[in-house]
A and B are shown apart, each in its own frame.
Chain A
Amino acid sequence: MSEPEPDTEARRIAKEARDRARFEEDALSFADQVYRVARRLVGSREEAEDLVQETYARAFRSWRSFTPGTNMRAWLLRILTNLNVDRGRKVQRTPQTQPLEETDYYLANKLASAGGEEVLETDEVVERLSQDSIVNALAEIQPQFRDVVVLVDIGDFTYADAAQILDIPIGTVMSRLHRGRRALKQHLAEEALT
């Protein structure tokens, strides 16, 4: 096999440099969204920053394994969730036991019991729940359920994207999402109304 012409080789190297630079630009354009998900998957801002930096370090090293035209945001989050599992979710607050699961109207029923049915008519009813109580309630959900709630309800990923990111069937995404949301409402009822 003959050696490539020097100018052909130079063009190939230049094209690869351009492709890589474009990949890095595209990946960095998702940094805020990647951080937003990371922040709710781990226990502290510092750990979220570390996790995002590890994610980008790995993404930039393995940029050739990304298929152009596919969902880069999901690809980055897949790296991030794998790294998070590898880290053993060390500093996350993990509840020892999951409370008995309540149904979907549980929180609304609790609010209505405390303030009357009319309270559910007001737009401000949700604002009785502090932002801190939402963040704390999310942290209390078991990680396997929280991952899905964070990806879908905070990260705006589709069921299919979440399934791809977490490498689980789409039916499992749906059942974990439903259970995670119920657990969230249950923790909110406990945090905000007791």
Chain B
Amino acid sequence: MSREPCDRCEELLQDFLDRTLTDAEWQEAEGHLAGCDYCSRRYRFEASLRRYVKTSAVERMPPGLMSKLDELRGLDATA
């Protein structure tokens, strides 16, 4: 089976999820995804991965840092 339309769909993946495709490209991707399980699975995977990367990479501010920042208030421009 030729992978050419899937290769093209792969090229459009990031911009599709970022919603930065042109109308024509959007239709091209949607048209292909409607009939291609191979690409549809990979698009869904990419969307899940992005959410997972975001939640995994977020680390909350350590306790105590906010009060250190608060102490910086009023710093003189010449200090």
Contacts and interface: CB of A to CB of B under 8 A. Distances in A.
A154 B48 contact: no
Interface stretch (A7-15, A77-85, A89-97, A119-127): A119-127
Interface string A97-114: 000000111011101100
A120 B73 contact: no
A154 B54 CA distance: 5
B1 interface: no
Interface in B5-60: 10-11, 13-14, 20, 37-38, 41-42, 44-46, 48-54, 56-60
B77 A61 contact: yes
Contacts of B66: 28, 31
B4 interface: no
Contact of B61 (A35, A121, A127, A154): A35
Nearest to A20: B74
A31 B69 contact: yes
Q: Is the interface of A mostly helix, strand, loop or mixed?
A: helix
A159 to B, nearest CB: 8
Interface residues of A, number: 50
Contact of A31 (B54, B56, B61, B79): B61
B68 A53 contact: yes
Contacts of B42: 104-105, 108-109, 120
A127 B41 contact: no
B2 to A, nearest CB: 16
Nearest to B66: A31
Nearest to A112: B41
A129 B55 CA distance: 12
A126 B48 contact: yes
B50 A35 contact: no
Interface string A125-137: 1110101001100
A112 B76 CA distance: 58
Interface of A: 20-21, 24, 28, 31-32, 35-36, 39-40, 45, 49, 52-53, 56-57, 60-62, 64, 103-105, 107-109, 111-112, 117, 120-121, 123, 125-127, 129, 131, 134-135, 138, 150, 153-154, 159, 174, 177-178, 181, 184-185
18 contacts: A28-B70, A31-B65, A31-B66, A32-B61, A35-B59, A35-B65, A36-B61, A49-B62, A57-B72, A60-B75, A61-B79, A108-B45, A120-B45, A126-B49, A138-B53, A150-B57, A153-B53, A154-B58
